[in-house]
Amino acid sequence: MAMFTNQMRFTGMSGLEVNDMVSQLMRAHSMRLDRVRQNRDVLRWQQEKHRGAAAQLRTLQSTFLDVLNPSRNLRSSSNFHARSTTVSNLDGTPANGISITTTGNTPTGHRSVQVHAVARNDVFRGSTVSNINTGITGTTSIDFSEFQPIQHDHRNMSQWATDNEMADFVRFGYFIGNNEVAAGTDGAARIAMRHALDQDGVPRYEDDGVTPIHERIAGRHVYLRGGGTAGYVDDEGFRLDAPYDDGGQRMRQQAGHNGGLNFRVTVNGVAHNIYIPASSMFETDADGNVPFNGATLLASIGTTDADRNNWLQGQINEQLSTRFGYDDGNTGNAAYQRVSVSINASGYMTVNSRQGHSVSLQNTNGRPSLGTIGFTNNQSTAVNLSNVTMAQLMGGDGEFDFTINGRNFNFDGTYFRIDGNSVSFTGDDLTLQQVLNAVNGAGTGASMSFNATTQRFTLQSNQTGAHNGVTFSSTCGFFEQIGLSSSNTAALPAGAERVSTASDAVVYVNGNRFQRTTNNFNIDGLQINLNANVLNLDLGAPPVSFNVNVERNTDHTMDLIRSFVEEYNNLIRSIRDLTHTRAPRSDAPGRRGRFLPLTDEQRRGMSDREIDLWEEQARTGILHRDSTLQSLTSRLHNEIFRDVIMPDGRELNLVHLGIRTHSDLSRFGELQIDEDRLMRWLDERPEDVAHIFTAQDDRLAGTNNMQNRRPRLQNSGIASRINDIITWELSRNGGLFEHAGIAGTMSDSENRLSNRIQQYDQRAERMRADLARREQRYFVKFSRLESALMAGQNQMMFLEQMMWAGN
C-alpha cells in the first residue's frame, strides 16, 4: 500500500499489527484516488488520439490543398488543364538547346518555332595578365642537412606503428621485395632487401597488378641481408626480436627516415611525385645506406651553397619537365616549361608556373618534406587578388581613374571614390580585390571577375539584351593593365576578345516575330527557355526550327484525384476505427468490466508484456461515438457530395464524375472512383471537372467571419470546401482545436481536455492530502489504543504479582 505520510513509525509493541490494520483501512479510501488517476489517463489518451486525427487532417491539407504545393493542389485549375509538351527538331529527333513548358490555359495543338538569335550579355575578356606574380617562394632557405636520414631509435616498434610511421617503414625501408624460400625452423618466406617504389614514389605491385608488394610483410619474419632475424610483423605492427644487437640496430637504420626530398606537385589537376633520394645527395656506406646524423654531402653536387642549390634546382626541374612537359610544343625550351623552380642566391626556392597553369604543392604520406624547403601543404600559385595591391598593378601609389557605364571610380593614392564619394577600404593599401568588389557593388549593371587558372579578367553586363551593353574607358591605363583596351570602342590587344555583344533574342512562333531581352520568356502560353551556349545564334545566321506539340494531359489529373481519394479514405478509415470500435471487456478476476488504466499496485504484479497487452486493450474504444470526430466526418461527407453550382446555373456533384461512397458497407464514408467515367469527363468536359473541384467564393471565412461560412461553402467547389472545413477545425473555435488542442499552438494547453486533465490532477492532489491526514489520524488512534493496552497489561501484571505475593 502507498504510504501517504513519510513519518518513521515504531508500532506493534503491544502485539497489534498497526501498519497492516491501517493499510487495510486505507485501501478502500485509496481506491477512489486510483479511479481519479485512471480517469485522468483516459482523457490523456483521448487527447493523443484526437491530435493524431488532427495531424492526418493537416497532412491531407498540405498535400492536396496547399498553394505552396502547386503541382498537387486540387484548388488550382491548372491541375485540371494540365498540358504535356513535346519539342522536337524538324526530323522528329528530340530538340537540344530549347525547352518549352505550358500552363493549364495554353491552347492545345501544333506550333512551329524558329530561333533566329539568342539574347546575350556584353562580355569583354582580357588577355593573360603578365604583371601579377604567378609564383610562390619558400619562407626558409634550403638547408641540405635537412635531407639526410634521421635515426628513429624506437625500442618498442608497436609504439612506432601507432605513431603512424609504419608507412615510412614500408615506403623507405629498402627491405621489401620478392619472396624467397628460406631455410629455417618456421619455414617463413624471406624478404629480399629491395626498394618497393617506382620513380614517382608509388609502391610497386605484385604480378597480379593489384596487391602492393609491401603487404608481403604481414605475418612474416623479416630477415636482414646476410642473415639474422630482425623481427616479426603482425597485425599490431613490427616488433624487434633483438633491439640491441647488430640486427636490431640495422633494422632501426632501415626503418628510419630515409631522408632526401619527396613532395607532390599538382598542375591543372594532374599530380606527380618529385622524389630525390638522400643516396643521390650523400655518401653511402658499403651497404648502400646513408649514415644517420652527420652524413657527408657528395662532392659531385658542389662544395658551395650556390653549387648545391643549382644542383638541386636542376634535379627538380628535370623531373618537373619530364612529368608536366612544355607549352606550345616547345619541348626542351625552359621558357615554355609549364612549371619550374628556381633558387635564389639566399637559398630561397620559388615555384613558377606559366600563364594559364594552376600549380599546388602537397606533402606525401604525411611526410613534412615541403617544410624542409620552406613551403606548406596545399600551397598554390593561384593568384589571390586580395594580395595584389593597386600599387603593384599600376605602379607608384596605385592611382587610377576609370569609368564603367557612366560611373566614375577614382583613387589618388589615399582616397578611393565612386562618383566623387569616398569609399572606405581596410588595410594600408588598396587591393585589386577591393576595387573589383566596389565595381560589382556599385550598381553599374556590369561586373568584373578574374580567373585564377587562365589569369584573365572579364568585364560583362549583368543582364542580357541589346540595351544592356557595357561602356568603359580609362586615361590612366587601368584597363590596359588588366588585359583590355583603353575603352570599349578601342581595338583590343592581342589575346583579348569580345566574347559576345549585347543583343536580344529573336523568335518566330507560327510565323509571328517576337523580340525579347532575355532567353526565358512567355509567348501565348508557351514558356520558352533558350540555352544560348547550345544554340549560339546571332542575327544573320541560319535560324534553327522546332516543332512544338501541346496536348491535354489527363493522366496527371487522374493520378492527382486518385491519390487524393486514397489519402482521404485513409483519414476516414482511421476516424471510423476510432469512433466505431467498442471498448473491450475484461474477464480477469477482480478486474471484470472495461479495461481501465493500470494502477501502480497493479503494475507491480504484472510483467512488461502483460502491461503492454493490457494498455493496448485499455486504449481501444476510448473514442467510441466521439461527437467531435463524428461531427467532423459527417460535415466532410455532406459537403463532398453536395451539389456545386456551375457558372451556367447547372448543379453537379462528384457522383456525376463517377466518384461516390464506397459500395462495401464495411468501408462506409470512404470514396470509390469509376475511373472510366471520370476519364470521359476529363476528356470531354474538363472545365466542368475543374469547376466542381476549384470553384471558390470570395467571402472571407476566418474565425471572425463565422456568418460567412455557410454561403461560402454553398458557392465553393469540393476542394475548397474540404480546405475550409479543415482550416476551421484546426483553428480557433474549431472542434478539434477547442476540444483537444493542436500541438505547437496556443491551444496546446488551453482546451477542454487539457482543462479536465488539470482538474483531475488538482483533485488527485487534494485527495492525496486528505488520505495523508486520514492515515495520520488512524495511526494516532492506534497509538492511543496501543498505549491503553500497554497500561492495562501493566496493571494486570501488577495485580498478578500482588496475588502471588499474598500467597
- C-alpha span between 668 and 658 (Å, rounded): 17
In the predicted model, what is the mean pLDDT of the chain? 81
Give the model's pLDDT for residue 32: 84
Backbone region of residue 558 per phi and psi (left: phi > 0; alpha: psi in -120 to 50; beta: other values): alpha
Question: Do residues 76 and 737 touch, judged by C-beta distance below 8 A?
Answer: no
φ, ψ at 572 (rounded to 5°) = -65, -40
**Three state DSSP letters for 582-598:** CCCEECCCCCCEECCCC
pLDDT over threshold 70, residue 186: no
Give the model's pLDDT for residue 617: 92
Question: Do residues 406 and 384 touch, judged by C-beta distance below 8 A?
Answer: no
Neighbours of 710 (CB within 10 A): 11
φ, ψ at 627 (rounded to 5°) = -70, -35
User: pLDDT digits over 593-640, tens only?
Assistant: 778 899 888 888 899 999 999 999 999 999 999 999 999 999 999 999
Q: Residue 480 corresponds to which cell in the numbers above? A: 590596359
- C-alpha span between 710 and 712 (Å, rounded): 5
pLDDT over threshold 50, residue 198: no
pLDDT over threshold 60, residue 250: no
The average pLDDT across 430-459 equals 92
Ordered strands of the 526-530 beta sheet: 98-102, 526-530, 520-523
Which residue from 561, 688, 508, 526 is spatially nearest to 108, judged by alpha carbons? 526
Which residue from 464, 454, 463, 438 is spatially nearest to 496, judged by alpha carbons? 454
Give the model's pLDDT for residue 243: 36
Give the model's pLDDT for residue 631: 92
Q: Residue 659 corresponds to which cell in the numbers above? A: 466518384
- Residue appearing with cell numbers 492536396: 64
Give the model's pLDDT for residue 200: 47
- C-alpha span between 368 and 383 (Å, rounded): 24
Question: Do residues 413 and 389 touch, judged by C-beta distance below 8 A?
Answer: no
- C-alpha span between 542 and 117 (Å, rounded): 9
pLDDT over threshold 60, residue 181: no
Question: Do residues 678 and 654 touch, judged by C-beta distance below 8 A?
Answer: no
Amino acid present at 641: F
Backbone region of residue 259 per phi and psi (left: phi > 0; alpha: psi in -120 to 50; beta: other values): left
User: pLDDT digits over 61-94, tens only?
Assistant: 999 999 999 889 999 988 898 888 999 999 999 9
Amino acid present at 691: H
pLDDT band at 733; cut points 50, 70, 90: confident
Give the model's pLDDT for residue 6: 52
pLDDT band at 680; cut points 50, 70, 90: very high
Supply the angle between the helices 718-729 and 686-694 in degrees, to the nearest 10. 10
Cβ contacts of 336 within 8 Å, gap of 6 or more: 326, 327, 328, 330, 354
User: pLDDT digits over 553-584, tens only?
Assistant: 899 999 999 999 999 999 999 999 999 999 99
Which residue from 77, 104, 6 is spatially nearest to 689, judged by alpha carbons? 77
pLDDT over threshold 70, residue 589: no
Q: Residue 726 corresponds to which cell in the numbers above? A: 479543415
Give the model's pLDDT for residue 1: 46
pLDDT over threshold 70, residue 168: no
pLDDT winner (highest mean) among 271-280, 446-455, 670-679: 670-679
Amino acid present at 33: L
DSSP string, 524-577: TTEEEEE-HHHH---TTSPPEEEEEEEEE-HHHHHHHHHHHHHHHHHHHHHHHH
Question: Do residues 530 and 100 touch, judged by C-beta distance below 8 A?
Answer: no
> Residue 652 is inside which H or E element, if any?
strand 651-652
Beta bridge partners of 523: 526
φ, ψ at 57 (rounded to 5°) = -60, -45
φ, ψ at 334 (rounded to 5°) = -60, -25
